[in-house]
Structure 1
Amino acid sequence: MATVTEIGPRDAALQAAFCDYVPQVFRRADFRRWREWGEWDDDYRAYSVFEDGRVVANASVMRMRLRLDGQEVQAFQFGAVGCVPSHRSRGLARVAMTAALEACGDTPVLLFANPTVRQFYPRFGFQPWLQTLFAADHEAVPEGPPAPMLDLGDAKMRAHFAMLSREGLPSTERFGARGYATVASWTVANGFARPLRQLGPDTWVSSSVDGDTLYLDDVFTLAPFDLRASIPRLIDRPIRHIRFGFTPERWWPGAVEAGEDTEADLFVRGFTPSRTAHRFPVLAHT
């Protein structure tokens, strides 16, 4: 019977085997740079099935501080769940999932998955939950000093980013999180995230412009500020629309629902997210 090995932040050799596994299952994903940055901490654990010294199946968990209708809830988010192609149809991903869920106990769990595995997670007690897109019509032109881009390859930048995420205002209270800098840094390390821009020493946003639309994926700040007045510093051409990567009830109350988020399916276990329309911040996805 397959056995599962837990990989933590101090298991260097096992981490290397895990890093070899990931691109075999998720072609565009890699953990090497994130690991080199020192972002694999005690909050992240991988539960891996090994054969002949290599990881062939896995389910990882990231400890999360959820914000749920204004309350903080301790939870875990799953990620990197899968099995290498050569070992599929043997139930190894199920073995890894079972071990990871046992480690979580009764703590609430969530995960995001692509639509091809919609039938897999309900077998473990997960239920799908709708995510909503949010948008606003807003005309603006570039004005003032452009907000500089920030490089998380710099250790000091990462430390400041971690502080903003840990101590700052959550981008949403409806269904979001705090202290997820190591989750966001993984998306940055893989080139999946929009640029981080600095509006002030303690105010960073993740954003970029495509056509006449500003895509605003997240806000990290210690104190409230006027986001609307800051838009001209985030754009390099005139815009007419804004799309949000989170529920913008705090930062843009007039935003409207703009359909269902179909990029990744949310599954939850052991808790009920907000009944009000919401979008879990995209930079908090593992």
Structure 2
Amino acid sequence: MDAHTVTRIGSHDKDLQELFCDYVPQVFRRADFRRWRAWGQWSDDYHAYALMEAGRVVANTSVMRMRLVLEGREVTGYQLGAVGCLPSHRGRGLARVAMNAALDACGDAPVLLFANPTVRQFYPRFGFQPQRQTLFTTTYDSVPEGPPALTLNLDDEEVRAGLVALSSEGLPSTERFGARGYATVASWPVANGFARPLRQLGSEAWVFAGVEGETLYLDDVFAREPFDLRAWIPRLIDRPIRAIRFGFTPERYWPGAVEAGEDTEADLFVRNLQLSPEAHRFPIMAHT
């Protein structure tokens, strides 16, 4: 096959998915798609645009269709991921070909991606602009009290279905710059062992949260209705805490949270996307 022929890999292309899964850890050392795929998370919203040589994927850009929430409005957009090229094939422009194919599929819709700081010069060539992401925190003293919130396991098919329902039908964790219906995105870091525990707060609210040192990290909230998050803090912690850090813009659940500098762990780039001038943080469980 010609090196510049792009192959679109979708949810039904099982053999090609295997080749994609072989490619990923060769470019991203700690990443794997096999468990995520075994969980049935490769949906019709996800497509890989791959360049093939000698029966293997050598470069790729993946596209996840997203239900973005911008200042309370829901719009269809896309998030790119798994962008790269095998080390042995770099310097031939293959990543550029895969990127252009993926962007052609996105058309004029909003597109975003998160990248590590080493590739800051690559994405502006495709019309992307860097966008600041803000860290949010609050001082909050609390001690464990009451029965601990139940920990849920996404190995359980019913739990995965429950997360899909809460994410699709419930409230977005933030109205400023967030998303809805991204359970298959949130399940990927869980499948790779990167995520904090998923905890159940009552029957209609789940959070990804965990304690490190004296800080509770609240990475995301999936809920059908507004609820009092503060009332659950003592049941989310196993030791005293003095602060909470949020993985999303917490204007709904903690309006008194303050800005704590810039999120420098992953650089956000946007294309055809005008964001709020107010400080915001796209939910980290919605990153591809």
Matching residue of 1:18 = 20
Query: Counterpart amino acid of 2:87?
Result: P
Matching residue of 1:245 = 247
Query: Counterpart amino acid of 1:258?
Result: A
- Deviation for aligned residue 1:224: 1.0
- Confirm or deny that 1:143 pairs with 2:145: yes
What SS class does the counterpart of residue 162 from structure 1 fall into? helix
1:135-155: CA deviations, max 9, x gaps?
000000000110011000111
Q: Equivalent residues in 2 for 1:1-286 (5 A)?
A: 2-286=4-288
Give the distance between the partners of 2:125 and 2:82, measured in 1 at CA.
18
Query: Counterpart amino acid of 1:264?
Result: A
Give the distance between the partners of 1:214 and 1:160, measured in 2 at CA.
24
4+ residue runs over 3 A deviation: none
- Deviation for aligned residue 1:73: 1.2
Query: Counterpart amino acid of 2:137?
Result: A
- Deviation for aligned residue 1:26: 0.4
Give the distance between the partners of 1:274 and 1:175, measured in 2 at CA.
8
Give the distance between the partners of 1:203 and 1:48, measured in 2 at CA.
38
Q: What value does the CA root-mean-square deviation take over the aligned residues?
A: 0.6
Mark the runs of 5 or more structure 2 residues left unpaired by the alignment: none
Give the distance between the partners of 1:103 and 1:63, measured in 2 at CA.
11
What SS class does the counterpart of residue 112 from structure 2 fall into? strand
- Deviation for aligned residue 1:2: 1.0
Give the distance between the partners of 2:238 and 2:253, measured in 1 at CA.
21
1:2-57: CA deviations, max 9, x gaps?
11000000000000000000000000000000000100010000000000000000
Aligned residues: 286
Mark the runs of 5 or more structure 1 residues left unpaired by the alignment: none
Query: Counterpart amino acid of 1:54?
Result: R
Give the distance between the partners of 2:77 and 2:13, measured in 1 at CA.
23
What SS class does the counterpart of residue 226 from structure 2 fall into? coil
What SS class does the counterpart of residue 49 from structure 1 fall into? strand
1:32-90: CA deviations, max 9, x gaps?
00000100010000000000000000000000011101111110000000001000000
Give the distance between the partners of 1:202 and 1:226, measured in 2 at CA.
12
1:111-168: CA deviations, max 9, x gaps?
0000000000000000000000000000000001100110001111100110000011
- Deviation for aligned residue 1:104: 0.8
- Deviation for aligned residue 1:194: 0.6
Query: Counterpart amino acid of 2:17?
Result: Q
What SS class does the counterpart of residue 205 from structure 1 fall into? strand
TM-score by length of 2: 0.99
Give the distance between the partners of 1:23 and 1:216, measured in 2 at CA.
28
What SS class does the counterpart of residue 285 from structure 2 fall into? helix
- Deviation for aligned residue 1:275: 1.1
What SS class does the counterpart of residue 149 from structure 1 fall into? strand
Give the distance between the partners of 1:152 and 1:201, measured in 2 at CA.
16
Give the distance between the partners of 1:50 and 1:151, measured in 2 at CA.
36
Query: Counterpart amino acid of 2:220?
Result: D
Give the distance between the partners of 1:160 and 1:212, measured in 2 at CA.
30
